[in-house]
Amino acid sequence: MSSSYYLLCVSHDPALRIDSSFTSPDAAMDAIAAGLEEHPVCDLLVARVSGALCEVGCPPTRNQRHHPPCLAHGGPKWADADLLRLLTAVNQTDDVRVRDVARSNAFSCWSIRRLHRLRLELGTPALLVLDPSAGTR
């Protein structure tokens, strides 16, 4: 089955599916780079769907119109939907050492706020761990 790509606005809670569909990841990333009239300063991600949601991509930092949670990256960063589900679960554990893994630099694109807002796409529970050390990124 071929993949299609659509944009997600995670400035909204829960994330809003933007009514657009692309046949390649580059076309979707280019649309974000060009800017969206309806979401001029929003936090935008790309979803890859092949039957079900497969992956979510964070656009290159220079193409993001808001202050992104992630460490700067020059190309898109993709994460498997299952990895995002795991990170959601890990973010909710009581074990601080395990939780710190989900909040490490390796996963900086997938902040608690973004994961929480992606919950309907991922089929995960709400995740607003309002732990002050978690920050608001």
* Placement of tokens 């829960």 in the chain: 14
CB of 94 to Zn ion, least distance (A): 27
42/115 with CB nearer Zn ion? 42
Residue pair 58/45 in contact by the 8 Å Cβ criterion: yes
Nearer to Zn ion, 93 or 137 (CB): 137
Closer by beta carbon to Zn ion, 77 or else 103 = 77
Smallest gap, in angstroms, from Cβ of residue 33 to Zn ion? 14
Residue 87 Cβ vs Zn ion, minimum distance, rounded to whole Å = 13
Q: Which is nearer to Zn ion, 35 or 125 (CB)?
A: 35
Tell me how far apart the alpha carbons of residues 2 and 25 are, in angstroms, rounded to a whole number.
12
Alpha carbon distance, N-terminus to C-terminus of the chain: 35
Q: How far is the CB of 115 from Zn ion (least distance, A)?
A: 13
Query: Which residue ranges make up the site for Zn ion (CB under 5 A)?
Result: 9, 11, 39, 42, 58, 70, 77, 109
As a whole number of angstroms, the distance between CA 71 and CA 88 comes to 19
Name every residue whose Cβ is closer than 8 Å to that of residue 74 and which is 6 or more positions away in sequence: 60, 61, 62
